[in-house]
Structure 1
Amino acid sequence: MNNARPAPELDPDANPASVARAIVLRQLTHSPKSRFQLSQKLAERHIPEDVAEAVLDRFEAVNLIDDAEFAHMWVRSRSMHKSLARGALQRELAEKGIAPDLAQEALEQIDDDTERGQAIELVRRKVRPSMDLGEAAERDKYTRRWVAMLARKGFNPSLAFQIVGEVIDESRQQD
């Protein structure tokens, strides 16, 4: 049994701007959001577009919504915790409605060496002593798997093949 009072958006007599502000504040309390994500949430709740835009403009004016800061934070977090490459991060930012120029600026935080190091570490974590990487069929099987894994994480295919080859060679030399 839920004793919480009903959400303001359920009251047909509620002021749409007040409802919109409450929705935006609740969304921002859970996690940072882009302006696009918040506008989608307001549209889902049937907030009139002009009211939604006015509320979002006000939140932007007081720096509670900042797509550039959101993009920088998103890239740092997803790169560090999920080891996503720039390609995947760029797609995610686009899905969140971040302008291409803001996304590009945020992606500049990740340099080639960092991205390469992440890819190497991802593949190294997959190598097991029980794998017979000296056998061509086994080597090919794991190459396909690991390149596909890196591709899902947004790494360039040529870089993925190069890194997988290097890690396999490194592993074979240790045996």
Structure 2
Amino acid sequence: MPRRAAEPPADAPGDEADPESVARKILLDQLSMTARSRRELEERLARKDVPEEVATRLLDRFEEVGLVDDEAFARSWVDSRQRTRGLARTALAVELRRKGIADETARTVLAEVDPDEEKAAARVLVRKKLRSMRGLDEQVAVRRLVGMLARKGYGAGLAYAVVRQELALQDDPDADC
């Protein structure tokens, strides 16, 4: 039985397709899955050997019509990562930089993060983690909880304050911290 040649992936440039239509298909496929930053899309097009001038022209056009919007992407990313992972502004800034978001855009979006919501998120993270730390020495618990918050981008001052308050509440639920 003769073997059939494997078909190239749908977004792979072929001999018969012009680079612009290939790039447009790649962009639309990528954006149909989830929002992406311009740099992520540029990197994807480069991996698929789309000529740089074609990629730039198409990305500019996609920005004009609102399909590629780094500021909207950054807002969505920040909102999602705060809700699902409890990340603080510092960690979010690092993630946005990795996604190719300009520092100015990241600063604008991160300035909108409410410090009270950030503190509330830290409290939720600590309360969740405390459930699995019953019976541990208090110093060990403090160290682990502060370390967990630090990895999520919280500053040492806020981390220690939240941990101490939550530990006090755990010891005395009637305490008002």
Give yes or no for TM over 0.5.
Answer: yes
Unmatched segments (≥5 aa) in structure 1: none
Q: How does 1:107-126 map to 2 (within 5 A)?
A: 107-126=110-129
Corresponding position of 1:78: 81
1:102-122, Cα deviation, whole Å (9 max, x unpaired): 111111231111111110111
Offset of residue 150 of structure 1: 0.7
User: Which 4+ stretches in 1 moved above 4 angstroms?
Assistant: 3-6
CA distance in 2, matches of 1:15, 1:87: 43
Residues 1:17 and 2:4 are matched in the alignment: no
Offset of residue 4 of structure 1: 8.2
1:28-82, Cα deviation, whole Å (9 max, x unpaired): 0000000000000001111111111111111111110011111111111111122
Contact 1:8–1:14, Cα closer than 8 Å, also in 2: no
The residue identity in structure 2 corresponding to 1:165 is R
Corresponding position of 1:147: 146
Contact 1:86–1:110, Cα closer than 8 Å, also in 2: yes
CA distance in 1, matches of 2:18, 2:102: 31
Unmatched segments (≥5 aa) in structure 2: 1-5
Corresponding position of 1:169: 168
1:77 is paired with a residue whose SS is helix
Corresponding position of 1:93: 96
Aligned length: 170
Contact 1:9–1:19, Cα closer than 8 Å, also in 2: yes
Change (3 A) 1:130 1:113: closer
TM-score, normalised via structure 1 length: 0.89
Backbone CA RMSD of aligned residues = 2.2
